[in-house]
Structure 1
Amino acid sequence: MRRTTRFRALVEAPEILEMPGVQDALTARIAAEAGFEAITCGGYASTAALIGEPDTSQLSMRELADHYARICDAVDVPVFADADTGFGNVTNVRRAVRAYEQAGVAGLFIEDQVFPKRCGHMAGKAVVPVQDMVAKLQAALDARRDGDLVIMARTDALATEGLDAAIDRACLYRELGADMVFVEAPETVEQMRRICAAVKAPLLANNIEGGMTPMLTAAELHEIGYAVVTHPVALTYAVARAARDLFATLRRDGITTGFADRMLDFKGFNDLVGLPDVRAREQAYLDQAARVMASRPAV
Structure 2
Amino acid sequence: MLYAKTPAHEKRRAFRERLATGELLRFPGAFNPLSARLIEQRGFEGVYVSGAVLAADLGLPDIGLTTLSEVAGRGRQIARMTELPAIIDADTGFGEPMNVARTVQELEDAGLAGLHIEDQVNPKRCGHLDGKQVVDEHTALQRIAAAVDARRDPNFLIMARTDIRAVDGLDAAIDRAKALVDAGADAIFPEAMATLAEFEAVRAAVDVPLLANMTEFGKSELFTVDQLRDVGMNIVIWPVSLLRLAMGSAMRGLDELAAEGSLQAKLGEMQHRAELYDLVDYEGYNHFDTGIFNFTISR
Common topology (TM > 0.5): yes
Q: Deviations over 1:167-224 (max 9, x none)?
A: 1110111122211101110112222221111122211111111211121111111111
SS of match in other structure, 2:80? helix
Q: Deviations over 1:223-254 (max 9, x none)?
A: 11111111111112111110101111111111
Kindly indicate whether the alpha-carbon contact (under 8 Å) linking 1:22 and 1:235 is maintained by their aligned counterparts in 2: yes
Task: Select 2:49's aligned residue among 35, 41, 48.
Answer: 41
* 1:202 equivalent in alignment to 2:233: no
Measure how far apart 1:98 and its partner are. Answer: 0.7
Counterparts of 1:48 and 1:278, CA distance in 2? 32
Kindly indicate whether the alpha-carbon contact (under 8 Å) linking 1:171 and 1:200 is maintained by their aligned counterparts in 2: no
Kindly indicate whether the alpha-carbon contact (under 8 Å) linking 1:206 and 1:229 is maintained by their aligned counterparts in 2: yes
Task: Select 1:104's aligned residue among 111, 135, 152.
Answer: 111
Quote the residue 1:71 is aligned against.
78
Matches within 5 A, 1:135-174: 135-174=142-181
Measure how far apart 1:99 and its partner are. Answer: 0.6
Quote the residue 1:133 is aligned against.
140
Counterparts of 2:14 and 2:92, CA distance in 1? 26
Gaps of 5+ in 1: 295-299
Amino acid at match of 1:89: E
Counterparts of 2:132 and 2:146, CA distance in 1? 24
SS of match in other structure, 1:131? helix
Greater mean alpha carbon deviation, residues 276-285 or residues 36-45: 276-285
Matches within 5 A, 1:115-126: 115-126=122-133
Gaps of 5+ in 2: 1-8
SS of match in other structure, 1:211? coil
Counterparts of 1:14 and 1:126, CA distance in 2? 32
Counterparts of 1:104 and 1:28, CA distance in 2? 14
SS of match in other structure, 2:144? helix
Counterparts of 2:235 and 2:215, CA distance in 1? 14
Measure how far apart 1:158 and its partner are. Answer: 0.9
Quote the residue 1:297 is aligned against.
none
Quote the residue 1:86 is aligned against.
93
Counterparts of 1:279 and 1:121, CA distance in 2? 46
Amino acid at match of 1:10: R
Counterparts of 1:3 and 1:265, CA distance in 2? 31
SS of match in other structure, 2:23? coil
* 1:15 equivalent in alignment to 2:23: yes
SS of match in other structure, 2:250? helix
**Structure with larger Rg:** 1
* 1:257 equivalent in alignment to 2:264: yes
Structure 1 length-normalised TM: 0.93
More helix by percentage: 1
Quote the residue 2:281 is aligned against.
274
Identity of aligned residues (%): 37
Kindly indicate whether the alpha-carbon contact (under 8 Å) linking 1:12 and 1:227 is maintained by their aligned counterparts in 2: no
Q: Deviations over 1:48-94 (max 9, x none)?
A: 12x12221111101000000111112111111111100000011101
Q: RMSD in angstroms over aligned alpha carbons?
A: 1.6
Amino acid at match of 1:186: M
Measure how far apart 1:121 and its partner are. Answer: 0.3
Kindly indicate whether the alpha-carbon contact (under 8 Å) linking 1:174 and 1:180 is maintained by their aligned counterparts in 2: yes
Counterparts of 1:205 and 1:25, CA distance in 2? 23
Quote the residue 1:231 is aligned against.
238
Quote the residue 2:39 is aligned against.
31
Counterparts of 1:268 and 1:222, CA distance in 2? 32
Counterparts of 1:268 and 1:28, CA distance in 2? 15
Gap change, CA 1:37 and 1:192, over 3 Å in 2: closer
Kindly indicate whether the alpha-carbon contact (under 8 Å) linking 2:28 and 2:48 is maintained by their aligned counterparts in 1: yes
**Aligned residue pairs, count:** 290
